[in-house]
């Protein structure tokens, strides 16, 4: 699994306004911005990403994935200069 592979999996299963993926092939970190996260708790957001990955977590193709899941409004707030 490469970063590009993981990026493609997430992007194909979840409409993202912004997506960053980095990692070493087993341990990954992703910043995922999607309007689908509106009104959802963090655990629900993560479940939505796991659904986009299909069985890749269960099969250990994706061993560990740390996620920052934001709505477009939350992402805009973080990006605004102080």
Domains of the chain from N-terminus onward: 3-79 (3.30.300.90)
Question: Considering the entire predicted model, what is its pTM?
Answer: 0.90
* Token pair 């493609």 in the structure block, residue: 8
Q: What is the pLDDT of residue 6?
A: 95
Could you state, in chain order, the average pLDDT of each consecutive group of 10 residues for the chain (82 residues)? 94 97 94 98 96 88 94 91 63
Q: Which pair of structure tokens corresponds to residue 42? A: 């963090």
49 SS3 class: helix
Which residues does 38 contact at the CB level (< 8 Å), separation at least 6?
A: 71
d(CA 59, CA 54): 10
């Amino acid at each position: 699994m490469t970063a590009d592979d993981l990026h493609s999996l997430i992007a194909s299963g979840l409409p993202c306004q912004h997506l960053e993926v980095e990692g070493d092939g087993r341990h990954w970190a992703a910043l995922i911005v999607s309007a689908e996260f509106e009104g959802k708790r963090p655990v629900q957001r993560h479940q939505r990403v796991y659904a986009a990955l299909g069985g890749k977590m269960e099969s250990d193709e994706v061993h560990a994935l740390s996620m920052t899941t934001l709505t477009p409004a939350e992402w805009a707030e973080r990006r605004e200069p102080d």
